[in-house]
Structures are given as structure tokens and as C-alpha cells.
Structure 1
Amino acid sequence: MAGALDGLLVVALEQAVAAPLCTRQLADGGARVIKLERAGGETARHYDTTVHGASAYFAWLNRGKQSVVIDVKDAGDRAMVERMVGKADVFIQNLAPGAAARLGLDAAALVEVHPRLIAVDICGYGQSTAAHAMRAYDMLVQAEAGICAVTGTPEAMAKVGVSIADIATGMNAHAAILEALIGRGRTGQGAAIEIAMFDTMADWMAVPLLHLEHAGRVTGRHGLEHAAIYPYAAYACLDGSLMISIQSPDEWRRFCAGVLGDAALADDPRFATNPDRVESRETLGRIVGDVLAAMTIADASALLDRHRIAWGRVSTVADVSAHAALRRVPAEVGGEAFDLPRPPGRSGALPTTIPALDANGADLRCEFGAG
């Protein structure tokens, strides 16, 4: 598919989520992506058979790619990989710790041989740190990075319900590659890049860390409430729940007068500022909750709109599937059609085909197999 990255060749020794998400973004942008897979296929092919026999993760992350089965320890296959890399603009890998380096396929080694190459190592933990050898999967990194410590209820920690460590790492890798491509356009030089999952989640933990290190304040777990802003929480209505967000003093005054029906509440010393409201969240929560509990979602949302207060439904997955804002793109796997959510920022046609294992093996061996 033509796009901003049309003509770029990306070679990916990838598995699971983080690297495949990055290369899917590149494929959506028009790059040619060659996915190197081991015999039997990469990890995510085998998670389930939800989408016409393909796993949901694989169907989500691999449209528009070419697949070839490769044994990188076989001399002939290794020579073919090296020919691919010699022609590639980008090489990305997310093997287990140390595996790529043992194969001579780590970013630093490849860029030394191919100075124009942009080579990316996705790893769990920074390879210059004492944690470099730790194996890393999404939920493990969420736990290690403290995400679970600030997620859940006061009684129990929870992970985030989607693979945020993997997803955010893949998006960071995508951004780093685009920056490196711009840099190469100016200097002619490629780059060796490391993107660590822990670094990604630690960056997301900056606010709790700053609160702890500069104010001695431990960020609590508040379920469907914001830890540092209030009211910013879910409240039960007669037929479901609404999330309400008060972000400014003006919003707080409008909320008190127009929604709660008590303008004087805005100047109550317990609630006058956001820190006051956070401190008194239990008392204020009961006041807000009692008002909304008598309303339907339709009535409450209309009232909130009238007074310019932000709100959102607490949706189920079924609600999201039917949501008016959900935009979709077509895809197909094994000749069967299905839909995916449209990635943000994309407006034109996107690649659609999810490759079968080794679907392009014969053609790629013909293209790159001869010396």
C-alpha cells in the first residue's frame, strides 16, 4: 500500500505484541514488512483460534506483512537473513534477553556492519542495568514497574486489562524509528536503538514517583476514581454508571450550582480547592452519588452537557462494539473477512491481509535466497 513509508524495507525477527505492533504501524504507513518466523510460527499465532482460526492478538497485529519461516541457526537461512538485512532500512527484534546478541543480530552489531540501517532491540529491561537478563512479559513488567501498585481498589492491586507495557513499548519503538529515519535523511547515518518495556512503564509512573520523591506522598488505589483529582470518578445512575471529570475551578462552580443544585458547596472549605476535595473525597462522593443515583444516564448526561461538564459512560466491551465513535477497517485471514478498530491518525485504505505462516516463503527465498 502506498504511504509515507512506501519503498522502505523492514525486516522483523518478532514475536508476541511489542515488536509486531511497531511493525504493523510501519506497514500501515506503506513500508514493506518481512516477518521472520520460526518453524511452527511465532508465539502469538498460538494464543487462541478466535478470528476464523487465527488468534485475536495475531489478527490484530500482523496485517499487511509477509511471512517466511527461517531457522537463523541454519547456514543457508542465516545467509538469506543477512542479505535481507543488507537491503533493509529497518531491522527490529524482540527475542529473549541475550538471544539476538548471541546470534550477532543485536542492533549494535548490525549497525556496525550496515551504517545506514536503523536497528531496534526491544527488551524487557535496559541492557546496561543489573536487571538486563530478566525475562519480561506484559503483566510481569506492569508489576515490576509499580503499575499494579496504583491500579485497583484499596483492598487489592490489579493489572491494567489490556497489554499496556507491550503496546506502549511498541508505540515508543515506532516513534523512535520515525525519528531515526528523519535523522538518516539529514546525515546518512542509521542508528542502533534500544527500547525497554520497563523504561516505558517507568516513564508512565513519573507522577506517582514525583509525588513520592518530592512530597513523601504514596499514590493510593481508588478503583474508578482519579488518585489526584476529584470529582473524577464513576457514579451509579438508575440504569448504569457515568464517569464525571472536574478539572478546573470554573467547572467545579458550574457543577455545584447546575448539577448538584447547591452553589454554596463550591466555597465549602472542605471542597473549595482540588486538594481539599481529594482529601474529602469520601464525603463529597456521597453528596455527588446521592444526586446522580436518582437520575437515568440520559437525564444525567443531558444535565452535565447543559453545564459543560465532561462525562463518559462506564462501557462494557459489548457497549464499545456498538459505540457510535468506533471506526473500523476491513481485514481478512484465510480468505475470511472481519473488522478491526481503525488506528488513530489513519484515514485512507490500509493493508488487510493477515499472513498465513510462511505465506511468502517461496517468493522471498527466490528474491533473497541466491548469493
Structure 2
Amino acid sequence: MLALEDITVVSLESGISAPLCTRLLGDFGAEVIKVERPGVGDVNRHWDSVVDGDSSAHVWVDRNKLSVELNLKSDEGTAIFHELADEADVVVQNYSPGVVDRLGVGYEDVREINEDIIYLNISGYGRDGPYSDRKAYDMVMQGETGLILMNGSPDAPAKIPLSVCDINAATYGTISTLLALFHRERTGEGQELDVTMFGGMLSWLGYFPQKYWHNDELPERIGMRHHLLTPYGPHETADDRYINFAILSEAHWELLCDAVLEQPDLLCDERFATNEDRVENRDVLEPTIESLIVDQSRDYWANRLDEAGIPWGDVNQLDDVLEHPQTDHLDLVKDLETEDGPIPYIDTPIDSDTLEFAAEPMPNLGEDTDDVLAALGYSSEEIEQLRADDVV
């Protein structure tokens, strides 16, 4: 069963945040109509061409959608968008600040024709406030929300390679849309929603704000170690591999010292009596642990950690992850059937006995324009005239 199979989403989207949000809604069964600039389309179509000529980003975020080319700078294009919005349940947009209002496709414009609409704005900083007119991209937002300066090694900060700020906004956008649909089911009321990359990332800062508010502590860059716990993280082994383990409790610490490292004297050292003590004296403890781990192979430590019941894992390259036995067991890599042949993708990671998820390939630019317009009642002749007038 496709949970959102009776829901229609019209999207004015670009990049990753809104496209990933609507892809998730499409995965859940919604009909997603992606409105794109004629002849150009979403910028994410052009970042590379590694997937049989399509971009990897487009394949990631644009499955389960219809693509309609529509010139929103024309009166006819705006009118067609209003017709689409009139029949929609949800509109999603992440255009640059002020654009949808200038084009006449903002919330107030849509609400005049569809008062039950759920209208989701995804933006960097929100639609008002001192930063509201700023454009926002993932790397910019990683810097603004503190991620870059807390990530990396002591010698240099680093950007997180995943588009975490975009993914955050897409996730909150999806959650907020589902909540609004549930609210409308109960009350009959539509609404306007705002999700910001800035606010979303602040909500993901975890315990760091508490450590600042209560201990005047700013997070230092500690590479592969953990800010709150030690020993914790990948350790290089004698065979130039890594063993990755986590000491989360005093019981784990005792097991590590006695059963794994065979260094019971560490338990008698007052500098390491509690986790806070160990973190305070990590400059002594962590080199000690590292010097012990590097003397034996990955397999040696894996066996000892496993026998002791301490959480551990490998440090894998991407190809190891995609070919991981658990990846295979969970059936996470599937194929989209396209005109160019099957394209592998990572499936929605939700397991259910009743729910089903859509798996339609990403659309070519404008491939659904005629069908969508025909469904609105336009004749073939009218569609050809709109194309001649550069409206579609």
C-alpha cells in the first residue's frame, strides 16, 4: 500500500533540499509534479553526467516524479501553475528569497484559489529576520551553524562531505508535510509551513549547546575521536587497518582494560577514574591506547573486542559499504528500470509488513508536460501553441 497515493505535490525546487523532500514524498506514494525552467531544468541535472548522461544528484533526488517545463515569468505560465496548485494537496518551494512572491506563486497567491493547500517553504534562514535575504547552500550553512570549525583535525577544520544541511531540511520538510496532512485530515485546514536549514542544523547540535551554556565550553577539533567520550573511535592496527570501538560505560572501560588490552593498571590510575576524568586527561590516555592497539592486527582486536562484548566495527570505504553483507541482507540496493537500462539506487530504509514504496525512474526534463496539461483539460492544439509561445 502506498500511504500517500491520493496526495498530489507540486514542487518549485532546486538543488537538494526541496528535491530530496519531494522525492521522499514520492517514495511514499504521492504524485509529485516537478515544475522546471524550460530548456534548463533543475540545476542538479547539470552537476555531472556519470549515470548514462544523467547527473548523480538528479538520480539521487528526482525519482518518483513527473517533470513539467513551465515558464513562470509569463502570465500564461503563472496561470497554468495556479491550475496545478488548485488541484494539489501540497506545494513545496525552495527558490531564492522573494522569488515565488514576485512570480505570483507564493502561499497567498495559491491560497486564494485553494484554501486547503499545504504550502511548504524550505529556505536557508527563513522568510523574515536579519538573514532572510541571503541565499544558502550546504557548505555555507555548515559554516554558519558551526559544523566546519568543530569538524576536522586539530590542524585544520573540514567540511562534512555529505550534504547534511540539505538532508536535514529535506527530513524536517517531509516530517512537517506529513504532520500538516494529518492536521488537515482532522480539521480540514491547510497551512503554510517554514523549514530552515539554519534552524534544522541548530536542532542537530546535540549536547554541544549544553556544554557551552553550562561549562563555557566550545568544541575543539579532535579528528576521529569523540568530544564527550574516550576511548572512542577508529584506532590504527599493526596491519595498516583500523579497528573502531566505543567505550560508553564504566563496565565497558573495565572490560577494555582487563579483557581486551590486558592493562588492569589503567583502572587504578586516578586520572582515568571516570569518563570525565578520561576526557580531561585524553592527551595522556589516548596515545597510550593507540600505542597498544598498533601492536596487533585488526583481526586480533576484532576477536578480543567481540569476546568482551564491546561495540566495535570496521572503517570501510564506500565500495565496502555498498557490498556490505548487511546491505545485501536488508536489500537496500535495488534497480530503477530506465530506458537506458537498470540504474542501482539506495532504497527507502523502512521495513514494513504493509507499507509499499514507489520506485519510478527520474524524469527527463519536461517529459510529462503534455500529459499533465492534457489532464488539466488542454487540447493538443493549445499545448502546441503554448510551446510556440515559450510558455512550456
TM-score when scaled to structure 1?
A: 0.95
- What are the equivalent positions in structure 2 for 1:16-165 lying under 5 Å apart? 16-39=15-38, 40-111=40-111, 113-165=113-165
Q: Answer with 91-100 or 266-275: which moved more.
A: 266-275
On the 8 A contact 1:52/1:333 being kept in 2, the answer is no
RMSD over equivalenced CA pairs, Å: 1.7
- In the alignment, does 2:350 pair up with 1:338? no
Cα deviation 1:110-156 (Å, max 9, x = unaligned) = 34542211110111112221000111100000001111111011111
Sort the Cα spacing of 1:104 and 1:213 in 2 relative to 1 into closer, same or farther, 3 A: farther
On the 8 A contact 2:49/2:55 being kept in 1, the answer is yes
- What are the equivalent positions in structure 2 for 1:241-260 lying under 5 Å apart? 241-260=242-261
Count of aligned pairs: 370
Cα deviation 1:19-64 (Å, max 9, x = unaligned) = 1111111111111111101021110000000111110010011111
Q: Distance in 2 between matches of 1:342 and 1:92?
A: 23
Q: Distance in 1 between matches of 2:131 and 2:357?
A: 42
On the 8 A contact 1:52/1:334 being kept in 2, the answer is no
Residue 11 (structure 2) aligns with: 12
Q: Distance in 1 between matches of 2:13 and 2:338?
A: 19
Q: Distance in 2 between matches of 1:45 and 1:19?
A: 14
On the 8 A contact 2:211/2:217 being kept in 1, the answer is yes
One-letter identity of the residue aligned with 2:335 = P
One-letter identity of the residue aligned with 1:4 = A
- Tell me the secondary structure at the aligned position of residue 207 of structure 2: helix
- Tell me the secondary structure at the aligned position of residue 50 of structure 1: coil
Sort the Cα spacing of 1:349 and 1:166 in 2 relative to 1 into closer, same or farther, 3 A: closer
Q: Distance in 2 between matches of 1:292 and 1:47?
A: 42
Deviation (angstroms), 1:158: 0.7
TM-score when scaled to structure 2?
A: 0.90
Cα deviation 1:322-354 (Å, max 9, x = unaligned) = 212222121144432121122221564531311
Q: Distance in 2 between matches of 1:161 and 1:268?
A: 39
One-letter identity of the residue aligned with 1:146 = G
Deviation (angstroms), 1:203: 1.5
- In the alignment, does 2:273 pair up with 1:272? yes
On the 8 A contact 1:124/1:196 being kept in 2, the answer is yes
Q: Distance in 2 between matches of 1:265 and 1:291?
A: 12
Q: Distance in 1 between matches of 2:268 and 2:90?
A: 58
- In the alignment, does 2:370 pair up with 1:362? yes
Gapped regions of structure 2 (runs ≥ 5): 380-392
One-letter identity of the residue aligned with 2:278 = R
On the 8 A contact 1:256/1:265 being kept in 2, the answer is yes
On the 8 A contact 1:18/1:167 being kept in 2, the answer is yes
Cα deviation 1:72-122 (Å, max 9, x = unaligned) = 122222211111101101100110111112223233543454221111011
On the 8 A contact 2:333/2:345 being kept in 1, the answer is yes
Q: Distance in 1 between matches of 2:242 and 2:201?
A: 29
Sort the Cα spacing of 1:187 and 1:282 in 2 relative to 1 into closer, same or farther, 3 A: same
Matched-pair identity in %: 32
Gapped regions of structure 1 (runs ≥ 5): none
